[in-house]
């Protein structure tokens, strides 16, 4: 830093010059007072400038990179998995436009999209069956209102009837008290993979995982259902959920839908209900949100159902937002052995052979384009591969661009606890570990407010 080597001499020089002028000119008393005041002012400016020169230059916070201490700790606790960026294998991603290649213009995208969607159905998430059943809805007694008058709530059952058999799952839906059919509000559907929602408990202790108060205050309606109410989150739960019900107890094929797809299907049935029965919600402003396994389901829900204007996946990792070919943190081999019910059985073919998989997760982001995709990571959640989650958005950019939308293209990640938004894409990485917090919700709701013009 450059500074005056003799800063203490500044006032001396100024005083000498002013005194010489005053003595030589025999100026009046008033003029002497003026000149001395000017000298004092000049000195003050000089001192202030010297002080500024001593101030440290404010630097922008650095791009996120994994804390070496966290890397070492996780590497020791799970030595069979990679947490070091230097050990990510060389990889080549499939063309984001799929096997048909980049089209000449946006008119060619639907054909490419259909081909990519079919690859994901066949190799990752499974094919949903044709629903030859009647779907209806039953309202239960209104639930407790944990917002204390800020919203109107419903407890509803989605009822699937096939012959003389029925299957049903419950969900809650809350609409801001100020919403009307003339001024409908966005609806945010949350795929809850933790403790089932209990509005009565929320009266005493706010639910940070699903902060209904924040969502309502943001001007949105909120719906929530529990994953296992639609399809049990157990490898041996197939016959108890919607998949076993619709298959009438028959074993599933290798390319049949897994639980992640079933949970996404459940989110779409809540969208159906709101569109048909809740005019205070806007069918053009639907969002689907999930954390971890719920985040994987939220991305696939938006891929299968174009009515979702926003998909928000939080810490979704392998099988969600993270690129599989990086083999960082959780891998296909580990996830398909620990949670075989989440995906179609065909995905096990690529355990340890990720380069042979005909798709990767940047193409899942592309399936959502030109709608909005929001991804969030956590700085200490290396199991979910934050960099791989971010890069999926970056590598989907050519599709957003083809469709006339700006999107995140910067290869370097943003600093921790900093949000990056470009067009219909958004990302943040929060300090801390694997979780969905009010901080995460706050950043997402700000993003949604921009997309939904709230």
- Given the residues 268, 292, 311, 377, select the one marked as catalytic: 292
Segment holding 172, helix H or strand E: strand 165-176
Indicate the burial class of 179 (C-beta count within 10 angstroms; 0-12, 13-18, 19 or more).
buried
- Given the residues 63, 65, 122, 434, select the one marked as catalytic: 434
- Judged by DSSP in three states, 134 sits in strand
Segment holding 222, helix H or strand E: strand 221-226
Using CA atoms, how far residue 120 sits from 82, 257, 373, in Å, is 25, 11, 18
Using CA atoms, how far residue 27 sits from 38, 165, 422, in Å, is 15, 109, 65
Strands 134-139 and 151-162: antiparallel
Cα–Cα nearest to 388, from 454, 316, 292, 446: 316
| Encoded tokens for 238 | 């197939």
Residue reference for tokens 């639930």: 143
Three-state DSSP string of 346-385 = HHHHHCCCHHHCCCCHHHHHHHHCCCEEEEEEECCCHHHC
Residue 428 appears among annotated catalytic residues? no
Contact (Cβ atoms closer than 8 angstroms) between residue 179 and residue 153: no
Neighbouring residues of 255: CB distance < 8 A, sequence distance ≥ 6 = 121, 122, 123, 126, 127, 344, 345, 346
Q: Please confirm whether the linkage preceding 370 is cis (ω < 30° from 0).
A: yes
Count CB neighbours of 3 within 10 A: 9
Q: Would you give the DSSP letter of residue 148?
A: T
Using CA atoms, how far residue 451 sits from 186, 286, 387, 426, in Å, is 10, 11, 25, 10
Compute the distance between CA of residue 231 and CA of residue 262 in angstroms, rounded to an integer. 7
Contact (Cβ atoms closer than 8 angstroms) between residue 160 and residue 245: yes
Segment holding 159, helix H or strand E: strand 151-162
Residue 268 appears among annotated catalytic residues? no
| Encoded tokens for 299 | 């991305």
Q: Could you give the residue numbers annotated as active site?
A: 292, 434
């Amino acid at each position: 830093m450059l500074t005056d080597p003799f800063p203490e001499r500044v006032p001396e020089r100024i005083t000498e010059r002013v005194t010489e002028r005053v003595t030589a000119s025999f100026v009046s008393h008033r003029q002497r007072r003026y000149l001395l005041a000017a000298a004092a002012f000049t000195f003050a400016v000089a001192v202030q400038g010297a002080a500024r020169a001593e101030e440290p230059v404010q630097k922008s916070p650095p791009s996120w990179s994994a804390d070496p201490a966290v890397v070492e700790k996780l590497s020791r606790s799970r030595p069979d998995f990679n947490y070091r960026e230097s050990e990510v294998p060389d990889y080549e991603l499939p063309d984001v436009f799929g096997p048909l290649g980049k089209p000449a213009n946006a008119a060619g995208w639907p054909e490419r999209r259909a081909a990519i969607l079919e690859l994901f159905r066949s190799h990752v998430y499974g094919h949903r069956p044709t629903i030859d059943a009647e779907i209806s809805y039953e309202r239960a007694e209104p639930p407790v209102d944990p917002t204390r008058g800020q919203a109107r709530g419903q407890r509803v059952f989605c009822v699937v009837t096939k012959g003389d058999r029925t299957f049903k799952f419950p969900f809650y839906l809350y609409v801001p008290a100020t919403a009307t059919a003339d001024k409908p509000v966005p609806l945010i559907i949350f795929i809850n993979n933790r403790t089932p929602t209990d509005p009565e408990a929320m009266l005493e202790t706010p639910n940070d995982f699903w902060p209904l108060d924040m969502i309502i205050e943001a001007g949105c309606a909120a719906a929530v259902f529990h994953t296992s109410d639609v399809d049990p989150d157990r490898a041996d739960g197939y016959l108890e959920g919607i998949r076993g019900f619709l298959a009438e107890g028959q074993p599933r094929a290798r390319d049949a839908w897994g639980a992640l797809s079933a949970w996404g299907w459940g989110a779409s049935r809540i969208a159906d209900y709101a569109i048909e029965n809740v005019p205070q919600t806007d069918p053009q402003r639907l969002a689907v949100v999930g954390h971890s396994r719920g985040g994987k389901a939220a991305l696939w829900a938006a891929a299968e159902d174009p009515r979702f204007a926003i998909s928000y996946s939080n810490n979704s990792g392998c099988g969600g937002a993270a690129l599989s070919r990086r083999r960082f943190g959780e891998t296909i081999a580990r996830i398909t052995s620990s949670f075989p019910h989440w995906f179609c059985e065909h995905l096990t073919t690529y355990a340890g052979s990720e380069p042979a998989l005909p798709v990767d997760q940047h193409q899942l982001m592309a399936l959502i384009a030109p709608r909005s995709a929001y991804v969030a990571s956590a700085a200490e959640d290396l199991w979910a591969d934050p960099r791989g989650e971010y890069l999926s958005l970056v590598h989907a950019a050519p599709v957003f661009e083809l469709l006339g939308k700006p999107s995140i293209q910067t290869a370097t990640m943003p600093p921790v606890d900093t949000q990056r938004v470009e067009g219909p894409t958004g990302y943040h990485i929060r300090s801390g570990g694997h979780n969905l917090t009010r901080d995460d919700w706050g950043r997402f709701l700000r993003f949604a407010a921009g997309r939904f013009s709230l």
